[in-house]
Structure 1
Amino acid sequence: MSSVKAEWASAPLIAYCFMTGYIDAIGFTAVFVWPGFQTGNSVQLALAIARLFQPGQTDFSFRPPDRAALVSLLTFIFGAFLGRIGDRMGPKTRAWLFLGTMIQALFTMAAAVCIWQSGNASVASDRGDPAWTAPLAYVALGFMSASLGLQGIIGKRVNGQFATTIVLTTIWCELMADPKLFNKSWVITRDHKIVAIICLFLGGFIGRAILDSIGSAGALGVGTGFRVVIAVWWLFVGEPKAQAKTAEKN
């Protein structure tokens, strides 16, 4: 299959940003861990290790939030590593973009099944009392994190204005550093980042709203459907008509 250029891929990459907010909302609501935010999870694990060296108050416990952070980090890395399959198929080919997104959908579906079978609740009351404590719940968190890890590497390989489609910190910094930040006309480097931020926010909002209505398993099931739609979308991504007409004239 033919390859996709970064400038053609704005719509599915924006949908990726939406899915980041959507998946993160479900994970954080249940265990106060962001499946896509590995900076926080890495620091949380560092704090867990630091507790071993507290003078006179050595704490050898491996608390549920620490376990969740470790599971999320390791599975995120695994998902990102799977993205290297795309290097062999061609990281921008429609075949890989479709297949990679379908794998994300399968991971999300597996997470939904695991949470459903675990019998755990969807909303945690406070940080010390996470809703997901069963082994299957940790497996679900792992599948969610792996889906975002794979999504991130695909987004990075496409190399559009949305970075990995996961880390808003980078997008915020690039937005603030954009020399055309205050231009009144349409500026791709600025406006695409603004759209990414808005869509990630909407993903979190809608994810929580759906979770409150049908629970985390149901919300992940809906998320699976979203990912399948994005996967099919990659097959139809093409050169924008305006660019095609310009190319014909030249």
Structure 2
Amino acid sequence: MTSVHPDQCTPPLVAYCFMTGFIDAVGFTAIFVWCGFQTGNSVQLALALARLFQGPPGQRDFSFHIADKQALTSLITFILGASVGRIGDHMGSKTRLWLFLGTMIQALFTMAAALCVWKSGQGSFAELRGDPAWTTPLTFVAVGFMSASLGLQGIMGKRVNGQYATTIVLTTIWCELMADPKLFNLRAWVVSRDHKLIAIVSLFIGGFAGRALIEAIGAAGTLGVGCGLRTLIAIGWLFVPEKKPAVKPGVGNK
């Protein structure tokens, strides 16, 4: 139940960033939906609503396109997954117990997604945006579990309160990086700048690795590997140094 030191959480948080790219590579390759980046899904749903008023009466498109259904599924389950993260507020959001348990829940979500994709029997690659590879109820469930895992990861990363923000949304990190007053100070290690660069590179590598694995073993196998990686991250939280209690000035040891 000891709390980890936020400044010592770099390895697992970098691994979180890696998993964002890894999981999103699977979803985008199959259905062109980002399971972690909900800005795009929110705008897509707004466009779907606007489409209802497009064209003259009697000729309007009132159908709910499958891409919009998948975006809605991702958004709702992402929120539900993030809600699970509030359990940590009661256990202690920075305790080793919660960081281990929460990451294991992410791993279980990823395993459930892998099983759903495997049982669906559908492919891993979409040729066109209007023709996704996943269309069955089981793959919708898979998208839900993938998005929920990233939602939970996001709130856990946010509660640790390091330089990596949520470990998911990198638009903010890009903006903060470009606004960093020490951006071009190349002669020294700058935590506020360099940790953001590490996060960006880690997500990029995660996306690259995910896409390479999909080509080799398919989406289900890739998600299975992701489950194993998240289990290792969970174990890694147990070895993060704890945060020592602050010593009051003027108080010495007897």
* Normalised TM-score (structure 1): 0.95
Separation (CA, whole Å) in 2 of partners of 1:239 and 1:208: 36
Separation (CA, whole Å) in 1 of partners of 2:197 and 2:216: 29
* Structure 1: gaps spanning 5 or more residues: 241-250
* Structure 2: gaps spanning 5 or more residues: 244-254
User: 1:116 pairs with 118, 121, 124, which one?
Assistant: 118
TM-superposed deviation, 1:95: 0.2
User: 1:214 pairs with 200, 205, 217, which one?
Assistant: 217
The amino acid across from 1:216 in the alignment is A
Residue 238 of structure 2 aligns to a residue whose secondary structure is: helix
Separation (CA, whole Å) in 2 of partners of 1:19 and 1:174: 21
Partner of 1:65 in structure 2?
Answer: 67
Partner of 1:157 in structure 2?
Answer: 159
Q: After superposition, give the CA deviation of every residue in 1:117-176 in whole Å (9 maximum; x if it has no partner).
A: 001100001101000001000000000000000000000000000000000101000100
Q: After superposition, give the CA deviation of every residue in 1:153-206 in whole Å (9 maximum; x if it has no partner).
A: 000000000000000101000100111111121000000000000000000000
How many pairs does the alignment contain?
240
Separation (CA, whole Å) in 1 of partners of 2:226 and 2:144: 15
Q: Does residue 23 of structure 2 align to residue 26 of structure 1? A: no
The amino acid across from 1:62 in the alignment is F
Partner of 2:50 in structure 1?
Answer: 50
Partner of 2:189 in structure 1?
Answer: 186
When Rg is computed on C-alpha atoms for both structures, the one with the higher figure is 2
Partner of 1:236 in structure 2?
Answer: 239
Separation (CA, whole Å) in 2 of partners of 1:55 and 1:116: 41
* Normalised TM-score (structure 2): 0.93
Residue 136 of structure 1 aligns to a residue whose secondary structure is: helix
TM-superposed deviation, 1:104: 0.1
Q: CA RMSD in A?
A: 0.9
Partner of 2:12 in structure 1?
Answer: 12
Residue 236 of structure 1 aligns to a residue whose secondary structure is: coil
Instruction: Report if the CA contact (8 A) 2:3-2:242 is conserved.
Output: no
Moved beyond 4 Å, runs of 4+? none
TM-superposed deviation, 1:6: 1.1
Separation (CA, whole Å) in 2 of partners of 1:20 and 1:55: 39
TM-superposed deviation, 1:52: 0.5
Q: Does residue 108 of structure 2 align to residue 106 of structure 1? A: yes
The amino acid across from 1:29 in the alignment is T
The amino acid across from 1:144 in the alignment is M
Q: After superposition, give the CA deviation of every residue in 1:77-97 in whole Å (9 maximum; x if it has no partner).
A: 000010000000000000000
Separation (CA, whole Å) in 2 of partners of 1:5 and 1:130: 43
Separation (CA, whole Å) in 2 of partners of 1:49 and 1:117: 33
Partner of 1:170 in structure 2?
Answer: 172
Residue 53 of structure 1 aligns to a residue whose secondary structure is: coil
Separation (CA, whole Å) in 2 of partners of 1:121 and 1:60: 29
**Structure with the higher fraction of residues in helix conformation:** 1
Partner of 1:203 in structure 2?
Answer: 206
Residue 7 of structure 2 aligns to a residue whose secondary structure is: helix
TM-superposed deviation, 1:110: 0.1
Partner of 1:226 in structure 2?
Answer: 229
TM-superposed deviation, 1:239: 6.0
TM-superposed deviation, 1:55: 2.8
Residue 151 of structure 1 aligns to a residue whose secondary structure is: helix
Separation (CA, whole Å) in 2 of partners of 1:126 and 1:138: 18
Residue 125 of structure 1 aligns to a residue whose secondary structure is: coil
